[in-house]
Structure 1
Amino acid sequence: MFPLGMTLLPGEPLNLQIFEPRYVQMLEDCTSDTGHNSFGVVLISRGRETGGGEERVDVGTLAQIEECSPRPDGRFHLTCVGTDRFRVNSWLPDDPYPQAEIELWPTTDPIASAGALNPVIARLGQLAATLDRVRGIEVGDRLTQPLEAEEPLDAKVYGTAVRLGLGPADRQKILSAPGTPARIEALSQALDDLIAVIEFSGLPAD
């Protein structure tokens, strides 16, 4: 397990610099002949990424290692991608690095209707209009175009959160939603909050 100050979402690329001895050991174990070439990423709810002793959330994403490049200074550069969502059943002693017993948590909702993403599409249109009016940024339909791709709804929700650069708290709510409808609702609320922040930033100072 690799606790980080970010929430990794399924399908999202992840680049890491590994230098702490405990995570160098984790990397060796993950990439050995008996390893599975992936590790779990969870958000740190309190504390720091280095030094240990942090508090962690219990829903995360597996990171599949795609490339591992050693550096002359002993560091390793990892290129990974988020794959499966999981829940932590129990945390094990951090010896020699964070470990946990987990279970994969796939979405089991039935296929949603074609209009399931309408709330998100409407808010993305509102976000585009707000960016144009408040900040003079013209994005046209670039925010909604990716939603036309032939891919699962969850992938579209996760992808939208990544493209918009939503913060860890919003991303964690989206990841932790029990199913697709709740995930769409969490994304819609995050978009409402983002629009409100942009609107507030455009108000004249008193």
Structure 2
Amino acid sequence: MQVGNKSYRMEADIPGRVPVFPLAGALLLPGAQLPLNIFEPRYLAMFDDAISSHRMIGVIQPAFENAVACCGPVEDLCRVGCLGRITSFAETGDGRYVITLGGICRFRVIEEVEAGRKPYRICGISPFLGDLEASDDGADVDRAALLESFKAYLEANNLEADWSSVERASTVTLVNSLSMMSPYGPAEKQALLEADDLKTRAETLIAITEIALARDSDDYGHVLQ
């Protein structure tokens, strides 16, 4: 996995402990980018420490109702997050950072470790090493079905999209971008994150979209084909 100027190929490239940024409803995926606006003092400190060391931050959701949470002392976090590398940042002049994280790999939280005098949380993690291989080109994804569900969602909500850009996007970019941009809640975002592969993620996104459309429609029997 190439993220910014750094390659991540093996477990030794991933630190065993990383600062974590709990964000409800946020989704970062391997190979994708997530813009963030950082303003809380504890996360400003986290960013300063990360940029001066390995440039990595773990994005993870707080545990929500019916979520599978971590064990023991980190039961208030979901068990799976995604590790991101800071690939760009800018100071706003009013005490904020605007940064971009490039997704490296998903991780499972093992434990929360003593942060000392740091105001942010640090967790021991186990990386999903398969994410570093970046071998899934999306050939098994039903791209037509994904685009059809996306189009139906846009029409149902009176929205438009730049279809020329959509059609030019690779299947990998399309699946991950639509997953990250989707307006769904924490449970749906976590399901998309934890999908086993790109094909499963696409199928999950289509299913979530069908459910949303059916729920908002007078015709509950209508299902996208």
Scaled by the length of structure 2, what TM-score is found?
Answer: 0.66
Q: Structure 1 residues 39 and 169 mapped into 2: Cα distance closer, same or farther (>3 Å)?
A: same
Q: In 2, are the aligned partners of 1:86 and 1:102 still within 8 Å (CA)? A: no
Give the letter aligned to residue 103 of structure 2: T
Tell me, in whole angstroms, the C-alpha distance in 1 between the residues paired with 2:197 and 2:80: 13
1:198 corresponds to 2:216: yes
Instruction: Report the alpha carbon displacement of residue 29 of structure 1 after superposing the two structures with TM.
Output: 1.3
Q: 1:108-153 deviations in whole A, cap 9, x for unaligned?
A: 6975774x332x6325425534654x55x374883x96255235x3
Instruction: Report the alpha carbon displacement of residue 178 of structure 1 after superposing the two structures with TM.
Output: 2.2
Aligned residues: 185
Tell me, in whole angstroms, the C-alpha distance in 2 between the residues paired with 1:163 and 1:43: 16
Instruction: Report the alpha carbon displacement of residue 5 of structure 1 after superposing the two structures with TM.
Output: 1.5
Q: Structure 1 residues 68 and 201 mapped into 2: Cα distance closer, same or farther (>3 Å)?
A: farther
Q: Structure 1 residues 93 and 145 mapped into 2: Cα distance closer, same or farther (>3 Å)?
A: same
Q: In 2, are the aligned partners of 1:4 and 1:43 still within 8 Å (CA)? A: yes
Partner of 1:172: 190
Tell me, in whole angstroms, the C-alpha distance in 1 between the residues paired with 2:152 and 2:78: 35
Instruction: Report the alpha carbon displacement of residue 184 of structure 1 after superposing the two structures with TM.
Output: 2.4
1:156 corresponds to 2:179: no
Partner of 1:67: 89
Instruction: Report the alpha carbon displacement of residue 67 of structure 1 after superposing the two structures with TM.
Output: 0.6
Instruction: Report the alpha carbon displacement of residue 186 of structure 1 after superposing the two structures with TM.
Output: 1.6
Q: What is the root-mean-square deviation of aligned Cα atoms in Å?
A: 3.4
Partner of 2:56: 38
Tell me, in whole angstroms, the C-alpha distance in 1 between the residues paired with 2:180 and 2:207: 15
Q: In 2, are the aligned partners of 1:30 and 1:39 still within 8 Å (CA)? A: yes
Q: Structure 1 residues 200 and 148 mapped into 2: Cα distance closer, same or farther (>3 Å)?
A: farther
Structure 2: 5+ residue runs without aligned partners? 1-19, 66-73, 221-225
Tell me, in whole angstroms, the C-alpha distance in 2 between the residues paired with 1:89 and 1:147: 40
Identity %: 22
Tell me, in whole angstroms, the C-alpha distance in 2 between the residues paired with 1:109 and 1:27: 27
Tell me, in whole angstroms, the C-alpha distance in 1 between the residues paired with 2:38 and 2:44: 10
1:12 corresponds to 2:36: no
Tell me, in whole angstroms, the C-alpha distance in 1 between the residues paired with 2:148 and 2:210: 12
Instruction: Report the alpha carbon displacement of residue 30 of structure 1 after superposing the two structures with TM.
Output: 0.8
Tell me, in whole angstroms, the C-alpha distance in 1 between the residues paired with 2:211 and 2:80: 23
Q: In 2, are the aligned partners of 1:109 and 1:179 still within 8 Å (CA)? A: no
Partner of 1:50: none
Scaled by the length of structure 1, what TM-score is found?
Answer: 0.71
Tell me, in whole angstroms, the C-alpha distance in 1 between the residues paired with 2:38 and 2:125: 25
Partner of 2:49: 29
Q: Structure 1 residues 71 and 91 mapped into 2: Cα distance closer, same or farther (>3 Å)?
A: same
The SS at the match of 2:62 is: strand
